[in-house]
Amino acid sequence: MSHWTVNDIPDLRGRVALVTGANRGLGLETTRALATHGAHVIMAVRDLNQGHRAEADIQQTVPDPSIELASLDKVDRNARKEYDRSAAARLWQVSEALTGVTYDALRQHSETR
């Protein structure tokens, strides 16, 4: 049985990957492998200066990579907001199923009062 290598990664064009700790070690190499195979890679890092160096490293070794640098703190904040939004939406789905009152109906009711 042959061993799997990064060369076995399929075409990832159209896919988006978020790699945390992308400035060094496994995160940097994961970014390189994914970008080599066409994924758009968001490189989330704690230190943007180190991130810029890692970004330059990828640009020098991968032809025409689709990468962007992001602050890990910002990614974390946005992920929490998105989670809160989806949690609120799920809560409304349950509430609607139980009470039959939709969010829109409730909002219209409160606007007409």
Ligand X SMILES: NC(=O)c1ccc[n+]([C@@H]2O[C@H](COP(=O)([O-])OP(=O)(O)OC[C@H]3O[C@@H](n4cnc5c(N)ncnc54)[C@H](OP(=O)(O)O)[C@@H]3O)[C@@H](O)[C@H]2O)c1
Contact residues: ligand X, CB under 6 A: 21, 23-27, 46-47, 50, 72
Hey, what are 16's tokens? 């988006």
* Burial of residue 23, with CB atoms counted within 10 A of its CB: 0-12 exposed, 13-18 middle, 19 or more buried: buried
13/15 Cα distance (integer angstroms): 5
Q: Nearest approach, Cβ of 38 to ligand X (angstroms)?
A: 23
- Nearest distance from residue 24's CB to ligand X, in Å? 5
Distance from the first to the final alpha carbon of the chain:
71
For ligand X, the closer CB: 12 or 44: 44
Nearer to ligand X, 9 or 27 (CB): 27
Question: 12: which 2 tokens?
Answer: 């990832």
Q: Which two tokens stand for residue 99?
A: 């009470």
Residue nearest ligand X, CB atom distance: 25
Q: Between 23 and 36, whose beta carbon lies closer to ligand X?
A: 23
Closest CB 12 distance from ligand X, rounded Å: 21
